[in-house]
Amino acid sequence: MIYHLSRRLIRRVANHVRSVRFKRQLPARTLNQDIAQTFDYQSFRQPVLNFTEGLSVKQSFAFKYSASCNRPTLYASAYACMIYSLLGKLDELSGQAKSSWIQYFDSFQNADDGLYYDPVLDSENYPSEDWWGARHLALHMISAYTDLGGTPKMPFHFLEAYYDVAQLKRWLEGFNWHGSIESAGDLDNKIMNIGCALQYQRDAWNDEHAGKAIRFIQTFLAEQTNSNTGLWCTFNQNDPVQLSRAVQFAYHLFPLFFYDEIPIRNADRIVELVLRTQNSIGGFGVCPNSSACEDIDSVDLLIRLAALVPEKQREIRAALARAFNWVLVNQVADGGFVFRLSEPFVYGHPEMASSTNEGAMFPTWFRTLCVAYLAEYFKVSHSFRFMRCPGYEF
């Protein structure tokens, strides 16, 4: 017990020192000003569009992930499409151009399983991982198709493996839902990828089997929540690392409920815990340079649950105002956003990598989405476009 207490204390001291040093490197004016009052949509929009357009290959639907990359990838094209949609750029494209982009996406879809395979990203991890890879990309693709006003050329046949409820039950029960969050691995991403794809399959192709499967998953997950926290698994609420992981885990599962407007239990307790993930700079991560994922995971939950906890409105608003400032600090000189400031980042493959403080497609899309949600929450003047689709944006 003394060992664990000392380890936590050392970690907190180290993070505090790192936070102080990191904060000194940031522009104090940006961190301190009230972005919710001064945010200018047009000034924000153009640099992001310039960054995205700069990664287009020969003015086609092919995009590179960052300036450091050599070859375009399907992932990057999907991110470009979603960025253009959020910023209203897709409205400037003709119907023929949108159809051509859809056909470009279709050319990567496999007839056997309905997943997307980009030869550039071929690797051992691509079919097996869920924080990145085939199923993860499929969830991005349905957003991109929705933005373009189309659907994939064929259904997601890989989902048929989850139509057998008995088998689905065995899979979900194979995880100890009341065990430590530290044993969760990548399960949350996998459930999100499969669950949201089932919702899309149900809605886009009127697939009753997909509808039955997602209803079972939703019921099962609701039964596994911890009544004391409103979240899943057990975790030390005083350990910032475990608490942050529990919130990230929840962010990946709650969209299955939010999209179908299923009531959330213990919203007050969830919000209380999410608020505790905010660090001294304004981001929502243990490290001061919190990531694009950590930030939107907490921001999304706070915004969606805010109406359910009126007694926490002032606290939520203050936390989100600080987050608004912090997220914008992550926009770098090239107009794009970084996953983490002052760190390089490789997202699953060398052709999806960015150097220190170099903008990249994934964080630019995710942080732009985060800014859009914050702008909508604070009711600032903006023209962000939101599309309703299972997964990340609705």
* Residue-wise pLDDT tens digits, 122-135: 999 999 999 999 99
Stretch 118-147: mean pLDDT? 97
Stretch 230-239: mean pLDDT? 97
Q: Tell whether the torsion through CA atoms of 134, 135, 140 and 141 is positive or negative.
A: positive
Distances (CA, A) of 9 to 3, 12, 307: 10, 5, 36
In a domain, 147, yes or no: yes
pLDDT of 37 > 80? The answer is no
pLDDT of 17 > 80? The answer is no
pLDDT of 2 > 60? The answer is no
- pLDDT for 59 equals 83
- pLDDT for 36 equals 72
- pLDDT for 29 equals 46
In a domain, 390, yes or no: no
In a domain, 391, yes or no: no
Q: What is the pLDDT of residues 184-215, one digit of tens each?
A: 999 999 999 999 999 999 999 999 999 999 99
User: CB count, 10 Å around CB of 166?
Assistant: 8
Stretch 48-52: mean pLDDT? 98
Stretch 351-356: mean pLDDT? 98
- pLDDT for 130 equals 98
Distance CA 368, CA 337 (A): 8
Q: What tokens appear for 204 in the block?
A: 């886009």
Print the domain residue range for 310: 2-378
Stretch 206-229: mean pLDDT? 97
pTM of the complete model: 0.92
In a domain, 247, yes or no: yes
Q: Tell whether the torsion through CA atoms of 95, 361, 329 and 9 is positive or negative.
A: positive
pLDDT of 238 > 80? The answer is yes
Report the CATH number that the domain containing residue 174 is assigned in CATH.
1.50.10
In a domain, 388, yes or no: no
Distance CA 342, CA 359 (A): 11
Q: Inter-axis angle of helices 361-378 and 313-329, to 10 degrees?
A: 150
Distance of CA 324 to the CA centre of its chain: 16
User: For the chain, how many structural domains are there in total?
Assistant: 1
Q: What is the pLDDT of residues 308-326, one digit of tens each?
A: 999 999 999 999 999 999 9
pLDDT of 20 > 60? The answer is no
Q: Tell whether the torsion through CA atoms of 93, 97, 99 and 105 is positive or negative.
A: negative
Give 5's pLDDT tier (boundaries 50, 70, 90): very low
Three-class SS state of 337: strand
Q: What is the dihedral of CA 346, 351, 357, 362, to 10 degrees?
A: -80
pLDDT of 95 > 60? The answer is yes
Q: Phi and psi for 309 in degrees, rounded to 5?
A: -130, 70
- pLDDT for 30 equals 54
Distance of CA 54 to the CA centre of its chain: 23
Give 11's pLDDT tier (boundaries 50, 70, 90): very low
In a domain, 250, yes or no: yes
